[in-house]
Amino acid sequence: MKYLNEKSPGKYEGMAMSAAAVYPRLVHPDVKYDKLGQYKADIRVPVEEAKDLMSELANVYKEWTGKAPSKDNNYMWKMETDKDGESTDHVIFKIRVKNKMNKDGDLWDRRPKLFFRNAEDRTDKIGGGSTIKVQFEVYLWNAEKKGVSLQPKSVLVEEVVVQKAENPFGEGEEADFDKYIQSQSEENNDADTASKESDDFY
């Protein structure tokens, strides 16, 4: 199955598979690490199901940077591990976009368009585990070094898991201190720099 569409030379858009949302921020941006806020539409997908999309993204990355992305962790995805560091055979696609200030000094709110499969499910409390389908832009950037990231354009919520009361350690069943500490570390590390580049791919 083909997931990416080249809209114009070097400009790609994609439609991900339906998958479970991971710590989504689709209505209110996350301001913990960025004062302007960041929207998140990360999804968790079995590796076997994710291989085609990963391969397409890797090809775009190679064309843009001249080398293969890290297989395990980069700005587009990371391989999921459990608290013991063992593979779960799932990959998490990082689909995120930060708000910016425009040239007039006003906030450019980059919230993705949000749709619900069932109108009666509409809520602003979309929690982890909700089934979503994300339309995204493949963003090619060059800031001292080249990289590729995925930015959400629109999100279809197919099945809602209502977000429970927020706490600093996660949401509902995801309220795991080890995961919270790990997420803090990941936000503050440059995954591309820390990881070795891999020439072989799926």
27-86 pLDDT per residue, tens: 999 999 899 999 999 999 999 999 999 999 999 999 999 999 999 999 999 999 999 999
pLDDT for 188 equals 46
Distances (CA, A) of 86 to 79, 82, 97, 101, 151: 10, 5, 29, 41, 28
The residues spanned by each domain of the chain are: 4-180
Is residue 104 pLDDT above 50, yes or no?
A: yes
Q: Would you identify the CATH topology of the domain 4-180?
A: OB fold (Dihydrolipoamide Acetyltransferase, E2P) (2.40.50)
The pLDDT value recorded for residue 180 is 46
pLDDT tens digits for range 141-181: 998 899 999 999 999 999 999 987 655 444 444 444 455 44
Query: With 80 as the cut, is the pLDDT of residue 127 above it?
Result: yes
Cα–Cα distance between 19 and 15 in angstroms, integer?
12
For residue 7, the number of C-alpha atoms closer than 13 Å in the C-beta half-sphere is 9
Q: Do the Cβ atoms of 108 and 98 come closer than 8 Å?
A: no
pLDDT band at residue 182 using 50, 70 and 90 as cut-offs: low
Res 197 pLDDT > 50: no
Mean pLDDT on 99-108: 91
